[in-house]
Amino acid sequence: MATVNESNLCSICHNLSAICICIGCKKYFCSKDFQEHEQQLSIKFNNEILKSHDEFLDQIDKLEKSNYSSLDLSDQIEQWKKITINKVEEAAEKVRHKLIELIKKQRITIIQQLEPITKEIHRRQEEKHFLENGIDHFKQKINEIQQKFEYFCQQHIKKSIIIDNNNQIDWNQFIYIHEEQQKCEYFD
């Protein structure tokens, strides 16, 4: 009695008419069931591979089209920008206030130095008492105080205010993106 060879059996209908083998799953099929098997593989490929591939491409397109504004990281960058601007404005306001205080202090000092001369000038003016050497003395005292004032305005204030140029700040190190290197295996 002849034994049935399993390689002759169709894996679907179990008939002896199996003439095709699928090199993927290594199963035998009759020609009708082999066509159906190929259709199922085509449907599975479309549903699982093409669909996920297209959805993934859509995600990539949406990321690019969104201009990254919907990302939480963009919000963090915007928050950093606002905080930094506020800190710069606070620092500028603090220095501006100190400058005003420095000018007021120097103004008071100059006025105090000029006060005795002012009183003497008014007294002489009332008495109508003018002498050449008095005029020269007042002129010399006023010039001395004026030179101190001009030195203060031109030199002292300029040397007192230190402006750190933006060129000296490495803005690329203030905030930056750290890109991690990833090992990816690509399909051939």
Q: Give a yes or no: residue 170 inside a domain.
A: no
The structural domain count of the chain equals: 2
Q: Are residues 35 and 107 in the same domain?
A: no
Mean pLDDT of 67-81: 75
Q: Are residues 53 and 115 in the same domain?
A: no
Q: Give a yes or no: residue 58 inside a domain.
A: yes
First to last CA, the chain: 51
Label residue 26 left, alpha or beta by phi (over 0 means left) and psi (-120 to 50 means alpha).
left
Q: Are residues 157 and 85 in the same domain?
A: yes
Q: Are residues 98 and 50 in the same domain?
A: no
* Helix (H) or strand (E) run with residue 29 in it: strand 28-29
Instruction: Tell which residue, 84, 94, 70, 49, has the closest CA to residue 166.
Output: 84
Which two tokens mark 10?
A: 């169709």
How confident is the model at residue 93, as a pLDDT?
Answer: 93
User: Which residue has better confidence, 75 or 185?
Assistant: 75
Q: Are residues 89 and 134 in the same domain?
A: yes
pTM of the model: 0.50
Instruction: Tell which residue, 144, 124, 143, 126, has the closest CA to residue 134.
Output: 124
- C-alpha to C-alpha distance for 112 and 106, rounded to whole angstroms: 10
Containing domain of residue 136, as a range? Answer: 81-161
Q: Give a yes or no: residue 184 inside a domain.
A: no
Band of the pLDDT at 162, cuts 50, 70, 90? Answer: low
Neighbours of 89 (CB within 10 A): 10
Neighbours of 18 (CB within 10 A): 23
The pLDDT of residue 185 is above 70: no
Q: Are residues 157 and 93 in the same domain?
A: yes
Render pLDDT for 12-68 as a digit per residue (tens, 0 to 9): 998 888 889 999 999 999 999 999 999 999 999 999 999 999 999 888 887 766 655
Which two tokens mark 181?
A: 């290197």
Q: Are residues 60 and 85 in the same domain?
A: no
Q: Give a yes or no: residue 102 inside a domain.
A: yes
